[in-house]
């Protein structure tokens, strides 16, 4: 089969947790963020494996830090893509959570084709699903303006429910407040969290991991019609598969659920033992 080259190129960053095979198949360019263990620097999803990262996270004395790609990294990428593109759509982690969006905005200056930089207001496979539907539209011949409009309508329809073993990593990374962390630690709860308009918010709590996963399932079931779905995890794959199978009836027949492991950047803040469901709700206007 001869693949039609899309006139619009889709770019995202590694916090999308897109499976590499999906990105390659759809022609999505993924820009890595950086993981810092002291003086050691790794490219997220490129030269550090998840197994190695989580082992160092839990067993090593150094807590990792993360950083964004530079504007020059984006400029070089955009200029390369512009050689065969009529436009570029660049989708990224919220500006509240990373400087990646700002770097992309600075990097697009002077590029030889239009570059639309979008703050997705979400992350992990919430961002990943947006990149997927953008790439599908691009491969179908949609214009940059049409794809930007599609993504603008999709962003409010992304929902992410997830749980973590401990709030400690979110606290250390500055992603939740001290009061929320203290309450969770004292009560030994398993929280249900959601990414809401660029922020991580606690929306429910349970007393065990099993109850937290079941709560995520029932909350997802209450959302209504779902167009796309992903299970995100850094627990065991069988648990992720079991959760996915329990909600598979909620998506259109013939569609598949994406399974995506939390990468090192997201894992820096979730810690080990995280699992959740990402849903793209069906557009009621369609």
Q: For the segment 96-116, what is each residue's pLDDT rounded down to a tens digit?
A: 999 999 999 999 999 999 999
Residue 182 has pLDDT above 80, yes or no: no
Distance CA 276, CA 136 (A): 24
Instruction: For residue 125, give the DSSP letter.
Output: H
Q: 182 or 257: which carries more pLDDT confidence?
A: 257
Lowest mean pLDDT among 82-91, 145-154, 170-179: 170-179
Entry field: residues in the chain: 286
CATH topology of domain 157-281: Hypothetical Protein Tm841; Chain: A;domain 3 (3.30.1180)
The residue extents of the domains of the chain are: 8-155, 157-281
Distance CA 232, CA 247 (A): 13
Percent helix, strand, coil in the chain, to 5, is 40, 25, 35
Q: Are 57 and 100 in contact (CB under 8 A)?
A: no
The full 3-state SS of 129-198, as one line of letters, equals HHHHHHHHHHHCCCCHHHHHHHHHHHHHHEEEEEECCCCHHHHHCCCCCHHHHHHHHHHCCEEEEEEECC
State mean pLDDT over 114-126. 97
Query: What does the DSSP assignment read for 214-256?
Result: HHHHHHHHTT--EEEEEEEESS-HHHHHHHHHHHGGGS-TT--
Local confidence band at 286 (pLDDT 50, 70, 90 cut-offs): very low
Residue 200 has pLDDT above 60, yes or no: yes
Residue 135 has a pLDDT of: 98
How far apart are the two ends of the chain, measured CA to CA in Å? 31
Which backbone phi and psi does 42 adopt, to 5 degrees?
A: -125, 150
Pick the CATH number of 8-155 from 3.40.50.10170, 3.40.50.2300, 3.40.50.620, 3.90.850.10: 3.40.50.10170
Q: Provide the sign of the torsion angle of the four alpha carbons 134, 137, 143, 146, taken in this order.
A: negative
Q: Is 244 left (phi over 0), alpha (psi -120 to 50) or beta?
A: alpha
Residue 176 has a pLDDT of: 53
Query: Would you state the structure tokens that stand for residue 275, as one six-digit string?
Result: 């699992």
pTM of the model: 0.92
Average confidence score pLDDT of the chain: 90
Residue 253 has a pLDDT of: 79
Q: Are 86 and 93 in contact (CB under 8 A)?
A: no
């Amino acid at each position: 089969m001869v693949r039609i080259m899309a006139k619009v190129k889709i770019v995202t960053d590694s916090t999308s947790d897109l499976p590499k095979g999906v990105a390659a198949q759809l022609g999505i360019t993924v820009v890595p963020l950086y993981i810092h263990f002291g003086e050691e620097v790794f490219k997220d999803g490129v030269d550090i494996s998840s197994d190695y990262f989580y082992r160092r996270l839990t067993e090593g004395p150094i807590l990792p830090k993360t950083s964004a790609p530079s504007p020059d990294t984006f400029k070089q990428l955009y200029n390369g893509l512009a050689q065969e593109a009529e436009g570029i759509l660049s989708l990224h982690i919220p500006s509240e959570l990373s400087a990646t969006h700002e770097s992309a905005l600075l990097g697009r200056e002077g590029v030889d084709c239009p570059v639309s930089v979008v703050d997705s207001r979400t992350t992990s496979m919430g961002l990943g699903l947006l990149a997927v539907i953008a790439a599908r539209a691009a491969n179908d011949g949609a214009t940059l303006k049409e794809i930007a409009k599609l993504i603008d309508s999709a962003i409010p329809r992304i929902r992410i429910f997830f749980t973590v073993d401990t709030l400690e990593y979110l606290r250390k990374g500055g992603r939740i407040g001290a009061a929320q962390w203290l309450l969770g630690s004292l009560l030994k709860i398993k929280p249900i969290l959601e990414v809401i308009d660029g922020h991580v918010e606690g929306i429910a709590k349970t007393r065990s991991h099993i109850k937290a996963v079941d709560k995520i399932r029932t909350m997802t079931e209450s959302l209504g019609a779902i167009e796309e779905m992903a299970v995100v995890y850094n627990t065991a794959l069988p648990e992720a598969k079991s959760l996915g199978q329990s909600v598979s009836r909620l998506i259109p027949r013939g569609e598949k659920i994406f399974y995506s492991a939390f990468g090192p950047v997201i894992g820096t803040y979730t810690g080990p033992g995280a699992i959740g469901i990402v849903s793209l709700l069906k557009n009621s206007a369609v």
